[in-house]
Amino acid sequence: MTIYRYGRSSSARLAEVHTDLQKLFREVLISSPWDIGILSGFRTKEEQNAIYHRGASQRDGVILKSKHQERLAVDFGVYVKGKYINGDTPGEELVYYAVIGHILATAKRMNIPVRSGSDWDRDGDFSDNGFKDLGHIEYVL
């Protein structure tokens, strides 16, 4: 069975977020059935604003701040058979939900409170979610 490891970029991004998120994502990868990478961790106001203007976030980083600006969020990506998938097709989305389940279960076991961009209100119902951000996990203070 393959044991996955974070590459240099993923490790550097992870090192910039809250220590509980670092612990969580290290533990997640050790037991993960899928290879994952860390696409984003800490963001400056300017970086968040650029993402907002691309339409990839609802938070402009100025009036509405992102948890990424507080080092309280991580965006992960999934690799299947060595190829990055972004979750945009129905088949890829299924893989993301499986990985999200693994992350949420690991967080629960470690007693680290997190929220997924697939279930903002944390009611366990993916179907009532508004802005879908499958790769986003944030720390809930």
Site for Zn ion, rule CB under 5 A: 73, 75, 136
- Distance of closest approach, residue 131 Cβ to Zn ion, in angstroms: 11
Given the complex with Zn ion, which of 82 and 130 has the nearer CB atom? 130
Contact 72, 84 (CB under 8 A): no
Query: In angstroms, rounded to a whole number, what is the distance separating the alpha carbons of residues 101 and 51?
Result: 26
- Residue with nearest beta carbon to Zn ion: 136
- Distance of closest approach, residue 51 Cβ to Zn ion, in angstroms: 9
Given the complex with Zn ion, which of 70 and 92 has the nearer CB atom? 70
Given the complex with Zn ion, which of 13 and 136 has the nearer CB atom? 136
- Virtual torsion, Cα 76, 86, 118, 135, nearest 10 deg: 10
- Distance of closest approach, residue 68 Cβ to Zn ion, in angstroms: 6
Query: In angstroms, rounded to a whole number, what is the distance separating the alpha carbons of residues 61 and 67?
Result: 9
- Alpha helices of 3-136 — where are they, by DSSP H? 8-14, 19-30, 45-53, 90-110
Given the complex with Zn ion, which of 115 and 136 has the nearer CB atom? 136
- Distance of closest approach, residue 72 Cβ to Zn ion, in angstroms: 10
Contact 28, 36 (CB under 8 A): yes
